[in-house]
Amino acid sequence: MAERVLSDEAWEAVANILPGKEGDPGCHGRNNRLFLEAVFWVARTGAPWRDLPPEFGKWYTTYTRYHRWAKKRVWPRVFEALQRTGAVELLLYADRLRWAEQAPVVAAENAPPQQFAA
């Protein structure tokens, strides 16, 4: 089983601001918490989406949802909420996530990264 990084406190900080939760119009995600764990796994390991462990669900579904959230500018809101909990260290480069210990991804705009504690 892959290591989980999202504490209960961090989950509570973001659960109500995530799209696709129960009560939202349209389709909703089956498990937003598991989805966040999958995204954090990719960010932490630097692995390609295709290597996502099956316990997180289908890699392509996770990849597609991640990019939909990026287009909707969900990630900055998520990380603002997670920043208050101090649970994990992430960098956000033009909507690309990387774990703080990893070498940064070069953003297309060559903009400096925004660092968030999630």
Domain boundary assignment for the chain: 8-117
pLDDT value, residue 52: 96
Q: How far is CA 48 from CA 14, 59, 76, in A?
A: 25, 9, 22
pLDDT value, residue 104: 42
The residue with tokens 């960098």 is 91
Which element (helix H / strand E) includes 74?
Answer: helix 74-83
- Stronger pLDDT, 96 or 59, i.e. the higher one: 59
CA distance 13 to 63: 23
| pTM of the complete model | 0.72
pLDDT value, residue 94: 53
* pLDDT-derived band at 113, boundaries 50, 70, 90: very low
pLDDT value, residue 101: 56
Contact between 101 and 88 (Cβ < 8 Å) = no
The partner residues of 31 in beta bridges, in order of sequence, read none
